[in-house]
C-alpha cells in the first residue's frame, strides 16, 4: 500500500506552494487506495507556533484533502534520543560546541546547506561543560554503510552522495534532533512508502538514505516535485508574504475549486512552476 505524507512546520501560515505539495501527496496515495498522513514538524522550538497546527488542519479540509494525522514531532523526542544514542555508541557522532560564525569561518567549502563543517571539534574534543550539538562523522558513516542509492519517481535511481554535506548536525544544541534525523525516523515510524516533497529538499535525501542504512530503517521511494515560483522566479515563501491559504479560506474562496485548478497546473497570475 502506498503511504504518503504532508509534513509542514508550524512556523508560518501555509501558502499555495504547500497546497500544491499536499495535493500531490494526497493524490498519489488516494489514486492508489493508499493512505495520506499529516505530520506536524514542530521541534524547531524557537520558531514553532503550536496554534498554527489547527489552521493547517482547516486548510487541508478546505482544499478537500482528507488526511490521517500522526503524532507531531514534539511527541516523539524519545525515539530521536534513542536513535542518537545508538549512533553515539558506535562512535558515529561527536560533540561540537562551535557557533554558526565559527563553522563558517573555518569552513573550506560550501555544500548544499551552506558552509561545510571543517571538523574542528572532531580533532580536539571540546569542553564537556559547554552545550554541544552532535555531528555525524561523515567519512566513518559512509565507510560503514558502503555505496547506497535511492529512487525518485521523477529523477530515477540516484547514487547517494551524502559526503557533499560534510559532518552534518544530527542533534542540535537546543533540540533532541535535527530535521534530518527526525524526518528520517518519523517517515520510518509512520510507514511512509513514498516521501513526497518539494525539489528544494532533493539533496537532503542523500543524508536521509545514509541514516536509513545506519539505523536499519526501511527504504521508501521519493517523489520530489517542482516548486511554485513567484514573479521574481524565487520559490514562494512564508517570509515574502505570499497570500496564505488561511487568508484565502477566511475570505470565502472555494478551496476545492482552488485545488482543482492547482491539479491542472493553473496558477494565479505571476506564479509558475520550476523546471526541476
Ligand atoms: N517540515 C518540512 C518543511 O516544512 C518538510 C519536511 C519534508 O517534507 O521532508 O519544509
Ligand atoms: Zn565544533
Please tell me which residue in 234, 238, 250, 275 is annotated as part of the active site. 238
pLDDT digits (tens, 9 = 90+) for 259-268: 999 999 999 9
- Please name which ligand lies nearest the alpha carbon of 178: 1
Give the ligand 1 atom nearest the CA of 201: 9
Instruction: Give the β-pairing of 228-229 and 35-38.
Output: unpaired
CA dist list (Å): 245 to 152, 232, 276: 28, 21, 24
Give the ligand 1 atom nearest the CA of 8: 4
Cβ–ligand 1 contact at 158 (below 6 Å): no
The sign of the torsion formed by the CA atoms of 75, 1, 56, 168 equals positive
- How far is 227 from 68, CA to CA, in rounded Å? 24
Domain boundaries of the chain, sorted by first residue = 3-75+226-273, 77-149+157-179
- Please name which ligand lies nearest the alpha carbon of 192: 1
- How far is 264 from 141, CA to CA, in rounded Å? 43
State the distance from the centre of ligand 1 to the C-alpha of 44, rounded, in angstroms.
12
| Helix or strand (DSSP H, E) at 100 | helix 100-106
Looking up cell 558552509, which residue turns up?
115
Instruction: Give the β-pairing of 133-136 and 169-171.
Output: antiparallel
| Number of other CB atoms surrounding residue 152 within 10 Å | 16
Predicted TM-score (pTM) of the model is 0.96
Cβ–ligand 1 contact at 41 (below 6 Å): yes
Select 3-75+226-273's CATH number: 3.40.50.300, 1.10.3720.10, 3.30.420.40, 3.40.50.620: 3.40.50.620
- How far is 149 from 57, CA to CA, in rounded Å? 35
Q: What percent of the chain has pLDDT over 90?
A: 88
- pLDDT band of 237, cuts 50, 70, 90: confident
Select 77-149+157-179's CATH number: 2.102.10.10, 3.40.50.620, 3.40.50.2300, 3.90.1300.10: 3.40.50.620
- 275 catalytic? Reply is no
Cα 34 → chain centroid? 21
CATH topology match: 3-75+226-273 vs 77-149+157-179:
yes
pLDDT digits (tens, 9 = 90+) for 34-86: 999 999 999 987 788 889 999 999 999 999 999 999 999 999 999 999 999 99
Cβ–ligand 1 contact at 9 (below 6 Å): yes
The sign of the torsion formed by the CA atoms of 210, 214, 219, 225 equals negative
Amino acid at each position: 500500500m502506498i503511504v504518503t505524507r504532508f509534513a509542514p512546520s508550524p512556523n508560518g501560515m501555509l501558502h499555495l506552494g504547500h497546497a500544491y505539495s499536499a495535493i500531490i501527496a494526497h493524490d498519489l496515495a488516494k489514486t492508489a487506495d493508499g493512505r495520506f498522513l499529516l505530520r506536524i514538524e514542530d521541534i524547531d522550538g524557537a520558531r514553532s507556533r503550536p496554534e498554527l497546527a489547527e489552521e493547517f488542519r482547516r486548510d487541508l479540509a478546505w482544499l478537500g484533502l482528507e488526511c490521517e494525522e500522526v503524532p507531531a514531532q514534539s511527541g516523539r523526542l524519545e525515539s530521536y534520543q534513542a536513535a542518537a544514542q545508538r549512533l553515539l555508541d558506535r562512535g558515529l557522532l561527536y560533540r561540537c560546541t562551535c557557533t554558526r560564525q565559527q563553522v563558517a569561518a573555518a569552513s573550506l567549502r560550501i555544500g548544499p546547506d551552506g558552509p561545510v563543517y571543517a571538523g574542528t571539534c572532531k580533532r580536539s574534543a571540546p569542553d564537556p561543560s559547554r552545550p554541544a550539538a552532535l555531528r555525524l562523522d561523515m567519512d566513518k558513516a559512509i565507510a560503514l554503510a558502503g555505496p547506497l542509492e535511492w529512487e525518485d519517481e521523477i529523477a530515477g535511481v540516484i547514487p547517494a552522495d551524502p559526503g557533499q554535506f560534510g559532518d552534518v548536525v544530527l542533534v542540535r544544541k537546543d533540540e533532541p534532533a535535527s530535521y534530518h534525523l527526525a524526518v528520517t525516523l518519523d517517515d520510518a515510524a509512520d510507514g511512509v512508502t513514498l516521501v513526497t516533497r518539494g525539489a528544494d529538499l532533493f539533496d537532503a535525501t542523500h543524508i536521509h538514505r545514509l541514516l536509513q542504512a545506519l539505523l536499519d530503517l526501511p527504504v521508501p521511494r521519493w517523489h520530489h516535485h517542482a516548486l511554485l515560483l513567484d514573479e521574481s522566479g524565487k520559490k514562494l515563501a512564508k517570509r515574502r508574504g505570499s497570500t496564505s491559504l488561511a487568508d484565502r479560506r477566511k475570505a470565502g474562496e472555494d478551496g476545492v475549486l482552488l485545488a482543482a485548478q492547482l491539479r491542472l497546473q493553473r496558477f494565479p497570475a505571476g506564479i509558475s512552476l520550476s523546471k526541476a
